[in-house]
Chain A
Amino acid sequence: MSKLTKAQVLHVGKLAKLSLKQSEVEKFKVQLTSIFDYVDSIAKMKTQGVPETNQVTGITNRFRKDEIIRDTMLSQKEALSGAKKTYKGYFVIKAIFDK
């Protein structure tokens, strides 16, 4: 039984950049706990030595030739067209200082 704590919910919310409101945390804690409770059944599967599947196509080595294709490129105007704030061809965000 994997009961999630409030701290865990807040941590996950932070990792996912969701800025959860305090009022939501309790609700999500309950819902997520119930879901993971159910999901925990996967532990019963006998998966020793079983390889992981993350793609079902069986394709390997799908490569693209190193050439420029202009058809699919966007003009500066198109690239910026969805943004709320732009400045002289750039996207604009609030100032950030460190990486």
Chain B
Amino acid sequence: MDITSLTLKEIKEALDKKDISSYELCLACLKRIKKFNKNIHSFITVREEVVKEAKIADVERKKGSKKPLLGIPFGIKDNFLTKGIKTTSASHVLSDYIPQYDSTVVSKLKSAGALIIGKTNLDAWGHGSSGEHTDYGVTNNPYAKGYVTGGSSSGSAAAVAADFCVAATGSDTGGSNRQPASYCNIVGLKPSYGRVSRYGVIAMASSTDCMGLLTKTVWDSAYILSVIAGYDRLDSTSKEVPVPDYVQEMNKPFKAKIGVPKEFFDGIDSHVSKKVENALSILEKKGHKLVSISLPYVAYAYPIYAVVQTSEVSANLARFDGIRYGNGREYFGDEAKRRIMIGTHSLSSGYADKYYKQAMKGRTLLIKEFEKAYKKIDLIAGPVYPFPAFKHGERETDPLKMYLSDVLTVPANLTGHPSISVPIEFVNGFPTGFQLIAPHFSESRMFKVGLDIEQELQMYKVKPKLW
């Protein structure tokens, strides 16, 4: 049995039954990383110490510890600060930065017994939808050599898809968890804004950044969310909403009214929409109701996001001046420079009303539209990407072309609603994801409906052939 291919649920069962040990699991993962990662580039830093830590975890388990993630190897996206472990945000600006503290999510995972097997690759600073904007080697899609993984949580998605680790953290500001999950045949979760603490994750767009997960299955996602979610006194935007047992909630019977916005299918690759429609039929057969809806403001979501996100980015990257840590600003790559400039221009004197203020007002209108829709439906569904995975370099030369990958995912970031990408049938041999968006703090609905798709299609059984 190749234990690295097991899901978190299966691993926990095996560990409980003493069929395997954390030590064996971590050793096997490391072996796999050593063999295949040089072609996948999913890790910027790999920690061999994890094996020693796994041994300690096994001893703890023997003594009766019930920590929920004891001895489970995680990939941590390299924009999450990890105390004592190099954190680069995939940029040369932080090539030698060793954080002095842990992000809250990492703290929580550690308290739950999780182990860090490595820091995963990303589009530097979260700036990207393909995984190509990294200074540490572009991540390869484990299912399709030479094709992008999607971004920005590219390394996390690839690592989970390639069974290098059991699960990984990701940050989703405009689709960065859902997109790579979609291209890598795994589950990508963006919780509600304010559900999971942002403290200690390098800020991209403060008002849309959501910390989430890349996992093999929906159960895995729900289980780990229960561990990392919750109010944090260090994050003034984290909400004091109690954290339910998401797995328990997920297993409660629930038949949803699923809104399908026609705008989500405008200009979408026909093969992609076919697979999405198949998934919708499955849900109908399972007893959910499909409702046609219209969300006209979705057409403005991307330009609104472009202004809001880059404006906040321009301020959030101002602290990188090389004085207290890292290298000077001349080490920023082109993509970062571009976004900083767009944001700076959008906020500058004479332009702030036209861009920043107008975008903020538009955001209000978009939110109103979604809230109105949720009065009649329980969930919104659609594709994740407008097109299947593309070749490295295909979209990179035209920044705008690249940005338009995000049009379907950014609405949920602007509204703060939770969203998930669940694998559906491949399109011409490329993994494809199905997107669900729920009202605030209604993650359980997405898990429930996502589970229905997963149980029917069982895409988690389709493993990549690594090289």
Contacts and interface: CB of A to CB of B under 8 A. Distances in A.
Interface of A: 4, 8-9, 12-13, 15-20, 24, 28, 31-32, 34-36, 38-45, 47, 50-57, 59, 62, 64, 72, 74, 78-79, 81-84, 91, 93
Contacts of B239: 57, 59
11 contacts: A12-B345, A32-B341, A34-B400, A35-B338, A43-B354, A45-B358, A50-B361, A51-B361, A72-B234, A74-B101, A83-B325
Contact of B237 (A39, A50, A53, A57): A57
A45 B314 contact: no
A57 B210 CA distance: 12
For the complex of A and B, 7 pairs with smallest distance between CB atoms: A82-B325, A56-B416, A52-B360, A47-B361, A50-B361, A53-B364, A53-B363
A82 B96 CA distance: 8
Overall SS of chain B's interface: helix
B324 A12 contact: no
Interface in B80-139: 97-98, 100-101
Interface stretch (B37-45, B258-266, B300-308): B300-308
Contacts of B318: 16-17
B330 interface: yes
A93 B324 CA distance: 10
B306 to A, nearest CB: 5
Contacts of A24: 337
A68 to B, nearest CB: 14
Contacts of A91: 323-324
Contact of A45 (B194, B300, B400, B416): B300
A82 B324 contact: yes
Given A39-B306, A74-B100, A56 B340 contact: no
Contact of B341 (A16, A43, A64): A16
B323 A41 contact: no
B368 to A, nearest CB: 9
Contacts of A57: 193-194, 237, 239, 416
A16 B323 contact: no
B237 to A, nearest CB: 5
Nearest to A75: B100
Contact of A31 (B194, B234, B304, B338): B338
A81 B100 contact: yes
A62 B217 CA distance: 36
Most buried by B among A16, A43, A52: A16
A18 to B, nearest CB: 6
Contacts of B101: 72, 74
B239 to A, nearest CB: 6
